Amino acid sequence: MRDEVRNIDASIKARLKNIAKEHRKTFNLILQLYMQERLLYRLSVSEYKDNFILKGGLLLFSMSGFTGRPTRDIDFLAYQISNNMENIKEVFKKICRVEYNDGIVFNSNSVFVEEIKKEAEHGGIRVKLTGYLGKAKEMLWVDIGFNDIVVPEVITADYPVLLDMDYPKIKMYSFESVVAEKFEAIVSLGELNSRMKDFYDVFILLSEKNFNRDILQKAIVETFIRRGTDILKFDQVFKKEFIEDDNRINQWKLFLKKIGHQNIEFEYVMDAIKKSLLPIYNNIKKENRF
């Protein structure tokens, strides 16, 4: 039995190494993505499958065919579940104990939870846990937010898999809600913003996805209201002094280098976002929504 387990581990590790080589990625990154995927699968077959809605960078990365910006975090919006930290800890211990023949073992005793206070002042809970593929191990981070909204309704879809395994069928954010939340973070943080990933994600989404403008406007309005952000600050991030700030431009260049992306001028990115979102802002003001 032990030899059989070792053979499965070795086979999966070899296949993941081939994927890493084919896509010119590091093995550690592919292993991390595989473990994230298999944790999502365990969630999808657990009693908690309806309580967590996938959002954020991992959702975007998976929908890009794993060609976009990788992320170490799994971001969820919690739904109809207590934000008590001990409760969340027990939930993820149970998820870790779900067994599947994919070579991955999640150590339920490694589950650790802590309160998080993000830059945008929207708190939540962070879960840390350790996964193993044979002797190889990775720590996964799961960030859970509470009390946000999703416009339009949450979708249920198959999360893409790296190998020939059962797909995680999970609840996911709409792209409109992803844009709304990330842009709200950009606006609310303003001059203090060092989260270049939000600018990047909003730019990529608006460039590559076709949005219904009315739905996107509704998502933005409801997100700003729910988070208590003044929408009249909307256009502050499009001002010349914000876009041409030397420190921000340097942060942008370092971010692109970190994710291995070709250089895109920050001014170009902000101009593209402005062309997509400023008409929505003007329409909101016209309708006296704030």
Per-residue pLDDT tens digits for 160-216: 999 999 999 999 988 888 899 899 999 988 777 778 989 998 998 898 878 888 999
| pLDDT of amino acid 119 | 46
| 77 beta partners | 53, 145
Closest CA to 9 of 101, 103, 107: 103
- Residue 253: phi and psi, rounded to 5, are -65, -40
DSSP labels, 8-59: HHHHHHHHHHHHHHHTT--HHHHHHHHHHHHHHHHHHTSTTTTSEEEEHHHH
| pLDDT of amino acid 193 | 74
Where are the chain's structural domains? 2-173, 176-286
Q: Does domain 2-173 have CATH number 3.10.450.620?
A: yes
| pLDDT of amino acid 120 | 43
Q: How far is CA 151 from CA 77, 186, 202, 240, 243, in A?
A: 13, 19, 16, 31, 29
Tokens of 96: 């870790």
Residues of the chain with pLDDT under 70: 1-6, 64-69, 118-122, 149, 151-152, 288-290
Q: Is 74 helix (H, G, I), strand (E, B) or coil?
A: strand
SS3 content of the chain, % helix, strand, coil (to 5): 50, 20, 30
Cβ atoms within 10 A of the Cβ of 233, count? 12
* Stated pTM of the model: 0.79
